[in-house]
Amino acid sequence: MIDLHSHLLPGIDDGAADMNQALELAAHAVACGTTHMVCTPHLHPGRYNNSKTSISAVVERFAVALSKAGIPLQVSAAAEARFDSDLINLALRGELPFLGEWNGRNVLLLEFPHQEIPAQADKLTAWMLKNNIQPLIAHPERNKSLMGGNNYKRIEPFLAQGCLLQVTAGSVAGDFGAAAQELAERFLLAGQVTILASDAHNMKHRPPNLLPGLAHATELLGESAARLLVDDNPWRIARSHFANASAA
C-alpha cells in the first residue's frame, strides 16, 4: 500500500519527535503492509515554518536511517499545506512541495482549519486549478463545520470545481468518533474519495496503519474499489516520487 499523508519526518512538526520515533513508526507501517510513503509535514506559516528545501533535507536523512535500520519503506516527501493566502506566492515562486500528479496537474495536499472551511476558500482552489495545481483536500470528514445534518454539502462546491478528497483511514474505522466515521462513509459511498491515508503522528493515538480503514472500506465498497484508494490511486499520484521503484 502507498500512504500519501503522514507525519513521520523527525523533529519537523507535531509528528515523530526524533529519529528513533520515526523509525519505530516506519517499522510499524511496513508491518501493516505499507511499502511506499510520501511524508507530509505541516506547511503552516507561523507555526511550522517548513519549506520545500528544509523538508527535502530531513527526508534524505530519514531515508539513510531507514536503510541502515533495514526497514524496507520507500520514502519521499511533500507537505500538508495549511490554507493560507501565501500559498499563491509559494506557488508562483515554485516553492510548493507537491505529492505528485493527477491528470497533468501538480497535486497539493491542502488542509483547512479543523473547525471551518474559510470564507473564499473556493476562490483559492479555483485559482490553483487554473494554474495547474490539483487540490487534494485533507481529511474533510474531520472538519467540524461539515458534521451534522446537511453540513456535508459544504464540500460540494469544491468537488464541483474538481478538487479531490483524502479521507483518513482511521476515520473510516471509527477512531475519530461517530460523526467523522459517518462523514467518511458518506464520502466513500458517494464515490468522492480519491485516497485513504493514515495521517500518522505517533504510535499511541495515530499509528501508520491503513488496514482497519481498508477493511471497513472493503465492507462498504467491495475489495476492488477499496484497494483503489490505497494502491492504484495513490500510486498514480506519487509514482514520480519513486521513479526507480514499483508499487507492491
Rounded Cα distance between 91 and 96, Å, is: 6
User: Residue 167 above 60 pLDDT?
Assistant: yes
pLDDT number for residue 239:
96
| pTM as predicted | 0.96
All domains of the chain in start order, with CATH: 2-242 (3.20.20.140)
CB atoms within 10 A of CB 119: 7
User: Residue 75 above 90 pLDDT?
Assistant: yes
Q: Which helix (H) or strand (E) holds 196?
A: strand 195-197
Rounded Cα distance between 157 and 160, Å, is: 5
- Average pLDDT of the chain to the nearest whole number: 96
Q: Which spans in the chain are helix H?
A: 19-31, 52-69, 86-92, 121-130, 156-161, 169-173, 178-189, 211-221, 223-227, 233-238
If pLDDT is split at 50, 70 and 90, which confidence band does 45 have? confident
pLDDT in tens, 143-166: 999 999 999 999 999 999 999 999
User: Residue 190 above 50 pLDDT?
Assistant: yes
The answer to whether 216 and 210 have CB atoms below 8 angstroms apart is: no
pLDDT number for residue 248:
46
User: Residue 42 above 70 pLDDT?
Assistant: yes
3-state helix, strand, coil in the chain (%, to 5): 45, 15, 35
Q: What's the one-letter identity of residue 30? A: V
Length of the chain: 248
Q: What is the mean pLDDT of residues 182-206?
A: 97
pLDDT number for residue 244:
58
Of 155, 161, 103, nearest to 129 (Cα)?
Answer: 161
Residue 207: partners with Cβ closer than 8 Å, 6 or more residues away: 25, 28, 32, 198, 200
Apex CA 154: angle with CA 230 and CA 118, to 5°?
95
